[in-house]
Amino acid sequence: MMDNEKNDNKQGNVIQFPKLKERLISKGLDALKNKKFKEALELLLQAQDLTEQHDEIDLGIVVCLLELGRLNEAKDRCKLMLHQDIGDYFNVLQVYLSILIQLGEYQEVIQTIEAVLEEDQFPPTYFENFIKLLELSRKMIDSGEIEPNNNIEEDAMEDLDSILHQTFIENNNHHEQAALIQQVKDRNMHKYVPIMAQFLQSPTKHPIIKTMVLQLLIDNNVSENISIEKFGETRSVIPANLRDISQDEYGGKVLAILENSLGQENPTLFEVTKELWLRYMFILFPFTPTDDQPMIWAAALHLYGSELHGIDIENEEIEAMYNTNIFQLKYAIDKIQMVEEISLW
């Protein structure tokens, strides 16, 4: 009788592993830090099921949804955090406004910022950025750029020139620039090539936004010579003649080497190194490697990716696997690390 009661108790209760919640949070936040957003989202959602409220979990889920392009879900969760006073209010508000900008919901941006301004409790550290978002949103609406379907119509382009100039030339807010690129990505941008060209030539502008602008010109089949500066180097390109990053022959060689080394043995690490390489190529574009040593880049990515995820691997093993030596890898590793730091914008 007693044995049956014990068995019933075991079946009626869920037995959790010790410190499961803490492990899920730790792994989820590590995955988020390493930009593995899909994995991070799954882990953080599991952790959320085991706890009532946790600031890092809730904000981490919002960031994952945002990065995965699930903007409306991110918006709803972020709005709920604001209403329930979860996390640092102004930090969450900043994320919320960024989502609204990307969705093109400029009226909501204005109403939200004006409501907070009325309370007269704006921290100085956030004030300047929020005022810029307020000004941008007002300009976008006043110029007729925003229609009910969030598209920019052909007959409402009169003031886009000044908006582009202010956002890309006068200001330097990366999120505003990225949001505006999303708003105009389906437009004919030939009229605005001089502004884009001036932006690409500036050494103070962010390389990620420069890649996005260059992609915009490629999509518009711009056939003019454009000068672009990145990392102290300048190159003249014709966007219409540039090959898409995903079709880069050199990049494909590096990925083929990595897949041959890791595809079967450690597919997870292969995906990590692949993501590192694609991000590196995206940020440097069009200054992608042209040397004849794809093996060195593959070895550097293998070593850097392993260290990044706490995988122990001896230098000698890398040297033997890729027929190289650690001194040859230093330049490639330094470049990868530099670009990774830039990507945390």
Condensed to tens digits (0 to 9), the pLDDT of residues 253-301 reads 999 999 999 988 888 899 889 989 988 999 999 998 888 889 999 999 9
pLDDT at 2: 41
Q: Where are the domains of the chain?
A: 157-242, 245-343
Spatial distance between the Cα atoms of 15 and 35, rounded to a whole number of angstroms: 32
Is the distance from CB of 101 to CB of 93 less than 8 angstroms? no
User: What does the mean pLDDT of the chain come to?
Assistant: 82
Question: Is pLDDT of 188 > 70?
Answer: yes
Of 269 and 178, which is predicted with more confidence?
Answer: 269
CATH for 245-343? 1.10.472
pLDDT at 61: 92
Is the distance from CB of 321 to CB of 302 less than 8 angstroms? yes
235 forms beta bridges with 228
Question: Is pLDDT of 157 > 60?
Answer: no
Residue type, 336: I
Spatial distance between the Cα atoms of 19 and 21, rounded to a whole number of angstroms: 5
| Neighbouring residues of 306: CB distance < 8 A, sequence distance ≥ 6 | 269, 312, 313
- How is residue 64 written in tokens? 């994952």
**Cβ burial, residue 201 (10 Å; 0-12/13-18/19+):** middle
Rounded to a whole number, what is the distance in angstroms from the first to the last CA of the chain? Answer: 63
pTM summary value: 0.57
